[in-house]
Structures are given as structure tokens and as C-alpha cells.
Amino acid sequence: MYMAFKHLHLLMVVLSVSLLFIRFGMMLKSSALLNNKLIRIAPHVVDTLLILSAVALMLIINQYPFTNSWLTEKFIALLAYIALAVMALKGRTLAIRWLCFLGALGWLGLMVRVALNKQPVFLPL
């Protein structure tokens, strides 16, 4: 069961990040496709499945945010990633959007590092 949820989770991570890149590129080009119903709904479906698979994995391995420091750090990084990704797509100026996009990728990198090592970078063990 663990491997099935892990693979689902990793697939949703790839889809979620891919959709961010696609939507950011469309925003830069002022593409009318951003108003497409599928483009608007797909990220929410993917992100919901991503979070549900993360919850399933936490339950399977019996490790939780605010109990295990590596998951706490990953959760905080997720919140920062979400906030910056939203600002990357909706920020007031192009410069702000680019800074937020790059910042979101930085937080994503931290989440990947913490997930692979199960060791927090900023929080004490």
C-alpha cells in the first residue's frame, strides 16, 4: 500500500509542478488558454490528490507534522510554495511574478531535499 501511495504522490508532484510551469508560461504570453476550464480546474484536482496522497502516506508511516520535524519543515515549505506560486500567477508586476516564481521553485527544492533525506534543514531535530 505504501508504494502505491508514494508513486501516486510523486506523480501528482510532477503534474502539479508541470502545471505551474505551463500556467506561468501562459501568463507570460497573456494566453487566452488561461481561461480554459480544464486549465483552471486541473491544478485544483491534482493538488487535492497530492495532499490526499500525502495524508495517506503520513498515516501509513505514522509520522506527522508538528511531531516529526522533517514533516513540519516540509509542511511550512509547502505553505510558502503555495503562497509564492499564487503570487507568481497573480502578482501586480512582472518583476514580482518572476521573483515569486523563482521563490516558489526554491521552496520546492527544499521540500524535495527534506523528503529525500528525512532531515530538516532549518528546524532542529
Please choose, from the candidates 105, 89, 98, the residue with its C-alpha nearest in 3D space to the C-alpha of residue 39. Answer: 89
Reported confidence tier of residue 101, pLDDT bands at 50, 70, 90: very high
Taking residue 104's Cβ as centre, other Cβ atoms within 10 Å add up to 23
pTM of the shown model: 0.91
User: Quick one: pLDDT at residue 34?
Assistant: 93
Domain ends where: 62, 96, 112? 62
Residues 6+ apart with CB under 8 A from 35: none
Same domain for 125 and 98:
yes
DSSP assignment, residue 34? Answer: G
Residue 89 shares a structural domain with residue 121? yes
Q: Which residues contact 100 (CB under 8 A, 6 or more apart)?
A: 84, 85, 87, 88, 91
Give tens-digit pLDDT for 2-44: 999 999 999 999 999 999 999 999 999 999 999 999 999 999 9
What is the arithmetic mean of pLDDT over 62-68?
A: 95
* Whether 27 and 53 share a structural domain: yes
The pLDDT mean for the chain works out to 96
Q: How many domains does the chain have?
A: 2
Asked whether residue 6 falls in the same domain as residue 57, the answer is: yes
* Predicted pLDDT of residue 125: 66
Cell 505551463, located at residue: 22
- The whole-number pLDDT of residue 63 equals 96
Task: Kindly indicate the confidence band of residue 124, based on its pLDDT and cuts at 50, 70 and 90.
Answer: confident
The Cα–Cα gap between 32 and 22 comes to: 13
Structural domain of 78: 69-125
Residue in this structure with the C-alpha cell 502516506, named with its chain if needed: 57
pLDDT given at position 123:
81
- Is residue 20 exposed (0-12), middle (13-18) or buried (19+ Cβ within 10 Å)? buried
Pair (2, 56) in one structural domain: yes
Same domain flag for 8 and 33? yes
